[in-house]
């Protein structure tokens, strides 16, 4: 696919989704450069075709996320393989495979969008004034964190608990889930939210605790029934997923943003201490941090 074809197909899908491509020319040109780079690698033909064929905004934004992720690797000369099956008997493919220094890292991506009830509330308030006053209390934030956990879990097992996509890895293969959580907590997500998701209340200061049992959290000597319940719920996840790569947009997406083609990604990796020795964890984190943009907390945590 040459540059002219990329330009034409990209403009077509944007027009179909309601964007004025003339007014957004600069933004479109910037993102199109990412598409043009990927179009030079035949491995991304299927991804580009899916993006250009998108019929709704949610689908389109999911593919935009995959394009951004791919670009952050490829621009740093870290090639990816798109859509690969871990075993011949597995019908569902994993989104990406990254090979480096004798290790295979499989990445499965998920873009989490804001709950409809929050979006509707914001849009209703903005329709009658310039401001919205949606706030999340402690219970709402806990619900959001549990929602993240369930969506992460859905990337490696079905609702009935049956495994999907990932296989028990060999020593040289690691399984990662990449989760874009930019829209959660009214776009005020931070690293403590990520740690809370994976390792529970014990991993964060008291102010940020929400009564959450983490997906990789160990049971203490006298666990409650609810702790045992969640520990059992995450059993397969603990045994097969080596890391979660949390992602957010570098810019505040704002409540009225519809397309994310003017964003850049930041990354925060958390690894599974149950599966990985410290030496391997340190190596993987150093490797990814050497070229992926780092998630740096800019928010004032005391006023969160």
Reported as a single tens digit per residue, the pLDDT across 174-231 is 999 999 998 875 456 889 999 999 999 999 999 889 999 999 999 999 999 999 999 9
**Total structural domains in the chain?**
1
Is there a domain that residue 125 lies in? yes
Inside any domain, residue 93: yes
Q: Encode pLDDT of 180-190 as tens digits.
A: 998 875 456 88
Task: Quote the pLDDT of residue 159.
Answer: 82
Query: For residue 33, is it within any domain?
Result: no
Residue 240 inside a domain? The answer is yes
Residue 207 maps to a domain: yes
User: Measured between alpha carbons, how far is 304 from 295 in angstroms, rounded to an integer?
Assistant: 17
pLDDT value, residue 271: 96
Q: Where are the alpha helices (DSSP H) in the chain?
A: 3-16, 25-39, 45-52, 57-74, 116-128, 138-153, 191-199, 225-233, 235-240, 278-289
Residue 16: which pLDDT band, with cuts at 50, 70 and 90? very high
Spatial distance between the Cα atoms of 24 and 221, rounded to a whole number of angstroms:
58
pLDDT for the residue 131: 37
Rg (C-alpha) for the chain, rounded Å, is 20
- The reply to whether 294 falls in a domain is yes
Residue 291's alpha-carbon distances to 43, 64, 70, 76, in angstroms, are 21, 20, 12, 6
User: What residues make up the domain containing 292?
Assistant: 86-303
In a domain? residue 103:
yes
Mean pLDDT value across the chain: 84
Confirm whether 12 is domain-assigned. Answer: no
- Tokens, residue 302: 């005391």
**Chain-centroid distance, C-alpha 91:** 22
């Amino acid at each position: 696919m040459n540059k002219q074809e990329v330009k034409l197909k990209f403009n077509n899908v944007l027009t179909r989704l309601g964007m004025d491509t003339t007014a957004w020319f600069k933004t479109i040109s910037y993102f199109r450069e990412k598409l043009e780079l990927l179009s030079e690698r035949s491995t991304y033909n299927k991804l580009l075709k899916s993006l250009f064929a998108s019929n709704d905004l949610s689908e389109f934004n999911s593919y935009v996320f995959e394009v951004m992720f791919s670009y952050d690797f490829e621009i740093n000369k870290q090639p990816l393989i798109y859509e690969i099956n871990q075993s011949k008997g597995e019908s569902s493919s994993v989104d990406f495979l990254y090979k480096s220094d004798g290790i295979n890292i499989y990445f499965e991506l998920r873009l989490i969008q804001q709950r409809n009830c929050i979006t509707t509330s914001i849009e209703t308030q903005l329709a009658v004034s310039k401001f919205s006053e949606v706030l999340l209390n402690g219970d709402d934030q806990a619900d959001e964190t549990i929602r993240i956990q369930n969506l992460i879990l859905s990337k490696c097992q079905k609702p009935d608990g049956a495994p999907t996509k990932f296989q028990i890895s060999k020593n040289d293969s690691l399984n990662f889930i990449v989760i874009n959580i930019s829209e959660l907590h009214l776009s005020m997500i931070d690293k403590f939210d990520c740690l809370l998701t994976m390792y529970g209340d014990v991993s964060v200061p008291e102010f940020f605790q929400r009564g959450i049992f983490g997906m990789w959290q160990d049971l203490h000597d006298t666990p409650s029934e609810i702790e045992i319940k969640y520990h059992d719920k995450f059993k397969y996840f603990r045994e097969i997923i080596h890391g979660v790569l949390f992602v957010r947009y570098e810019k505040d997406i704002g409540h009225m943003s519809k397309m994310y083609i003017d964003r850049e990604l930041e990354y925060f990796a958390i690894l599974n201490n149950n599966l990985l020795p410290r030496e391997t964890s340190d190596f993987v984190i150093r490797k990814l941090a050497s070229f992926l943009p780092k998630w740096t907390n800019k928010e004032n945590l005391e006023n969160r």
